[in-house]
Amino acid sequence: MSDTPFQPLAFAQNLVVRGLIGLGLALPYRWRVPLLGAILRGPVGRIAGYRQRAEANLALIWPDMPLANRKKIATQSLDNAGRTLIENYSTKDFQARQAQIIPQGAGVAALAKAQAEGRAAILVSGHFGNYEAARACLVAQGYTIGGLYRPMSNRYFNAHYVQTMEAFGGPVFPQGRAGTTGFVKHLKAGGLLVLLFDQRAGSNQICFLGQPARTALSAAELALRYKADLIPFYATRQPDGLGFAVELEAPIPHSSALEMTTALTRSLEARIITNPGQWFWIHRRWK
């Protein structure tokens, strides 16, 4: 029996989310994805506080933008988050769709070269579009890609969400001491690793969309330590709401961890400015 005390609120929240996921999975894929988007952008997003947080973040970053425009972006962001959630639980259907995508960009050749030479590569993105679409796409191309993730605060939800990440074709490791041994071994063996860097963490402040934001340097530090390519990647949701365009940018040149992470930040900023509704404005990114 676990020594962790029972958390009734977190348990209840997980039951609600699992119920919504179960509802979605009972429907055909082309219906379930927009349905979960509609549920999250509707009352559920407001009850959970996601809409309020998204609108507050948008007001912080773009105070001069018309309110109607900010509300529209918040709605798009919530819709994308809901779609992403059910996509990541739709393992078989989701993987089959991503297998049809041909990844684009200068990073595709760089990744192939690193693998051919037995060198590690770290693929870095943010909570933009659906990052797992890119991993599923690359797995279909023959790559085995592990994931480094930040455990969710709701441990009941985290337990089954980790299983969905593992289903996309590689081992996943939690950030922190528990996962260090595994991902270090993976990188030393010339493995590939996916990492998201755009949540509030670490002590380094990097300007992000015009505001200082605590940003972890771990992706760049790992790349420097294990002589791995650091490749920004993105899976941008297409206008039909179901498809994606997957792009791997050219590797970030090795310099200092701070300079490399700043370059990653500028890359993500450019994507957000082009498609602001595809970023997860629901996170507590700034304080």
Which pLDDT band holds residue 43 (cuts at 50, 70, 90)?
confident
C-alpha–C-alpha distance, residues 143 and 132, integer Å: 14
**Torsion on CA atoms 79, 202, 265, 101, rounded to nearest 10:** -50
Pull the structure tokens for residue 38.
């509609």
Percent of the chain with pLDDT over 90: 70
Q: What letter would DSSP give residue 213? A: E
Q: Would you say the pTM of this structure is higher than 0.75?
A: yes
Exposure string for 120-144, b = 16+ CB within 10 A, e = fewer: bbbbbbbbbbbbbbbbbbbbbbebe
Interacting residues of 215 by C-beta distance below 8 A, sequence separation 6+? 197, 198, 201, 202, 204, 205, 206, 208, 261, 265
Q: What is the mean pLDDT of the segment spanning 161-174? A: 67
Average pLDDT over residues 194-216: 94
Tell me the CA distances in angstroms from 37 to 86, 277, 280, one per residue in order. 9, 13, 13
Q: Under a CB-based contact definition with an 8 Å cutoff, are residues 231 and 267 in contact?
A: no
**DSSP strand E in 160-243: where?**
172-174, 192-196, 205-208, 211-214, 229-237
Is the pLDDT at 1 greater than 60? The verdict is no
Share of the chain above pLDDT 70, in %: 89
